[in-house]
Amino acid sequence: MTKGGMESVEVFTTEGKGRGLKAQKEFLPGDVIFAEPAYAAVVFDSLTHVICHTCFKRQEKLHRCGQCKFAYYCDRTCQRAAWLNHKNECSAIKRHGKAPSENIRLAARIMWKIEREGSGLSEGCLVSIDELQNHVDNFGEEEKKDLRTDVESFLEFWPPHCQQFGVQFISHIFGVINCNGFTLSDQRGLQAVGVGIFPNLCQANHDCWPNCTVIFNNGNHEAVRSMFHTQMRIELRALAKISPGDELTVSYVDFLNVSEERRKQLKKQYYFDCTCEHCKKQVKDDLMLAVKEGESKPSADTVKEVIQFSKDTLEKINKARMEGLYHEV
């Protein structure tokens, strides 16, 4: 099992798709290609009182921040680890009188990090926040209206004594969140509990049949000797054998959808036309449609094949996930 670092990948420019990630060495199924902590992350509005704001684990009893009464933590370890990112948020919530929505909170955390470190390359990042795609130019009328509302709410929440940002840059950050936000799950991996920005992961292009999967890791409180003691992070893991020079791909959408539905979703949310082999050749569409149409009952063989196809793929992804749990130090 390899522990991934950023030296094992490189950013390259792909024809028609912008930037992408390429492997610098060989990886076997289950290997960690790289691990990446969030540049910034927040718990969803509906779960702020039941999920730890540092490691995103669900706990029975959480400690509440005595200052803002908004943030909750597993224990003192998580609370201490959160302070750098929560300090400004804490006083802003007190000043504002309430916590704003998750989008505003995530944008604000990104801005405070930029205030501390600048908007250039952060440590361990292959690209800067400035360079991330925002697709604001592709927004429709409804999306532009939502963006204006978010910018206004952000400016109401943002403290006057903090570094001031122009509307164009604030819009860029909201655009980045809109098309690059990665959903975080609880420790069981069953419920989406928050959203984060991971600049390196953002560089991986989509494929409907990817060679990598993203595993969310909540950190390990017992791993005293580990650099990942409580650090919440994503891990990009190989699903198949990957050779040096191969492009690293992940799936942005549900692989069990038919190609037309996948392409619609990718166009709507990520503003591109998928040209992967599975979409061009409409691989497995006949199978998926045979089950989906429902006009006539699909044959037993068709049902069996769809179930097997789904099981094989999910097993592949689950195997990569479990490898991660077994190899936690």
pLDDT tens digits for the chain (329 residues)? Answer: 344 567 889 999 877 667 899 999 999 988 999 999 999 999 999 999 999 999 999 988 999 999 999 999 999 989 999 999 999 999 999 999 999 999 999 999 999 999 999 988 888 889 999 999 888 888 889 989 999 999 999 999 999 999 999 999 999 999 999 888 888 887 776 788 999 999 999 898 878 778 988 888 876 555 444 444 457 788 899 988 999 999 998 876 544 444 455 445 444 544 445 555 655 555 444 544 444 444 455 566 655 665 566 566 666 666 655 554 444 43
**What does the pLDDT look like over 182-226, one tens digit per residue?**
888 877 767 889 999 999 998 988 787 789 888 888 765 554 444
125 and 84 assigned to the same domain: yes
45 and 188 assigned to the same domain: yes
Angle at 310 between CA 196 and CA 20, to 5 degrees: 40
Q: Is the residue at 3 inside a domain? A: no
Which residues partner with 59 through β-bridges?
none
Cα–Cα distances in angstroms (integers) from residue 12 to residues 15, 19, 21, 121, 249, in the given order: 10, 6, 6, 17, 13
> Phi, psi (5° rounding) for residue 244?
-55, 135
260 and 245 assigned to the same domain: no
193 and 272 assigned to the same domain: no
pTM: 0.77
Give the residue from 190, 224, 250 where a domain finishes. Answer: 250
114 and 154 assigned to the same domain: yes
CATH at residue 108 = 2.170.270.10
* DSSP code, position 262: H
Provide the domain limits for residue 298.
Answer: 291-328
Place of tokens 């991971």: 198
121 and 191 assigned to the same domain: yes
174 and 260 assigned to the same domain: no
Dist. CA 227–CA 208, nearest whole Å: 33
134 and 282 assigned to the same domain: no
Q: Is the residue at 4 inside a domain? A: no
169 and 279 assigned to the same domain: no
56 and 189 assigned to the same domain: yes
Work out how many domains the chain is built from and give that number. 3
